[in-house]
Amino acid sequence: MDVSEPLDEAIPAATLVLLRERPGGPPDLLMLERAGGMAFAAGALVFPGGRVDPGDHALAADPSLAGPQEDREEAAARIAAIRETIEEVGIAIGLAPAPDAAALAGLRAALAAGEDFAGLLRAGGWRLDLAALVPFARWRPNFREARRFDARFYLARASGADVARADGGESVRALWTTASDALADADAGRHHIIFPTRRNLERLAGFASFEAACADAARFPVETITPWIEERAGERWLCIPDDRGYPVTAEPLATARRGLPPAFNPPPRP
């Protein structure tokens, strides 16, 4: 793609950051290892999520299932995050009442078979609780060599009873790990993370609890982040804004390439 293409060419997407409290330490996060043959972020550790589909928009307009919604785009993104998390790891966030294990397994299988989410919700007697998702961030990278996504990130609380299983297609492994451990393992070469995931893990590493993460999210209203390239003392740096709550806002391009396509050549500052 040419860098001159407008940012609204990006694919709408939604991502769910599940936090699970653990005694005496920071919360665990649920992450997935993407299959090596994927067109985007192959082999990388990511949070559950995916594209916002037309069905998500239709559901957002149905008050009987999603409640009345003033912002349909926002509601559709939250619905996509819920749906994708069920599909990818078999955990249901934001469904009321919460399905039991057998019902959840059936729901996941039906979604994998392409059945309509709205119809499945009606058949199961479930409604969506979109307030269970807390807006955290929105990233819209403009990298020419990578598929472009306009991804909204949400926080949600997981329980110790939640069991995550990768779908075996797009993802090959699901794991619970702390943000600090995920970063340390990536630095040691034990797994791979892309640039936006690294920045979000660095931010998440500063939270001792789900409540602390939500409080931080409330302090920084969500504004779209589009990284840019900047020359500093003769060196190229990949940068993000410094007023969005992130502890690291610039990284030398030489090291940032660890999480970018091999031929990456980012745009200049917008």
Specify the pLDDT at position 160: 76
Specify the pLDDT at position 124: 97
Region 234-252: mean pLDDT is 94
pLDDT at position 196 over 70: yes
More confident residue, 258 or 250: 250
Nearest Cα to 238, choosing from 146, 170, 164? 146
Domains within the chain, CATH numbers bracketed: 8-259 (3.90.79.10)
Specify the pLDDT at position 157: 96
Per-residue pLDDT tens for 94-149?
999 999 999 999 999 999 999 999 999 999 999 999 999 999 999 998 765 556 88
Specify the pLDDT at position 176: 95
pLDDT at position 246 over 80: yes
pLDDT at position 244 over 80: yes
Per-residue pLDDT tens for 48-71?
999 999 999 999 999 999 999 999
Region 186-207: mean pLDDT is 92
Average of per-residue pLDDT values in the chain: 88
Region 163-183: mean pLDDT is 86
Per-residue pLDDT tens for 84-104?
999 999 999 999 999 999 999
Specify the pLDDT at position 173: 85
Nearest Cα to 259, choosing from 162, 184, 173, 193? 193
The share of the chain scoring above pLDDT 90, in percent, equals 68
pLDDT at position 207 over 90: yes
pLDDT at position 197 over 90: yes
